Amino acid sequence: MSAKKKKIVIFFLAISIIAGLVGYYFYNKGPINVKNADANKTDAATLYQFFLKDSTAAKKIYLNNILEVSGKVIKVSKNQENQVIVMLQTNEAGAYVNCTMEEKAAGLVENKEATLKGICTGMGMGDADLGIMGDVYLVRCYLIR
């Protein structure tokens, strides 16, 4: 085998090994620890207004990032999967920051201020014909205070 062919084989072998190691790392990495991770801080009204004004820019900044969101708790309920859902008030009537809690939400009281940390998954569509505003969604949320 010529020296040029050996270099090409070694190059592709090295690339294959590196790709395999990177794949192995990401496969075994596991989920992010939301509770202890650093987060961008904002309030519910500001977050919602940013998505309402320019959803493309908001997605670039917030989508799949960990946020620490403060706001007035409007409603605490459970969804069909028995997860606690917390609705934080925004400046728009009928629009909320919808937070799916990762753990029990002891200490959350309606009509009181709270700060939650979670992963932003974007803004729901809503229905303009019915006058239903879309919510901004956070998942895997934890109560900070």
What pLDDT, on the 0 to 100 scale, is given for residue 41? 95
The per-residue pLDDT for 145 is: 74
> In this predicted structure, what is the pLDDT of residue 3?
84
Q: How far apart are CA 127 and CA 120, in angstroms?
A: 21
Q: Could you give phi then psi for residue 47, rounded to 5 degrees?
A: -60, -45
How many residues in total does the chain contain? 145
Q: What pTM, to 2 d.p., does this model score?
A: 0.78
Give the per-residue pLDDT at 134: 85
User: What was the pLDDT predicted at 128?
Assistant: 64
User: What are the 10-residue block averages of pLDDT along the chain, 145 residues in total?
Assistant: 87 94 87 84 95 91 95 93 94 92 84 94 79 87 88
**pLDDT attached to residue 94:** 87
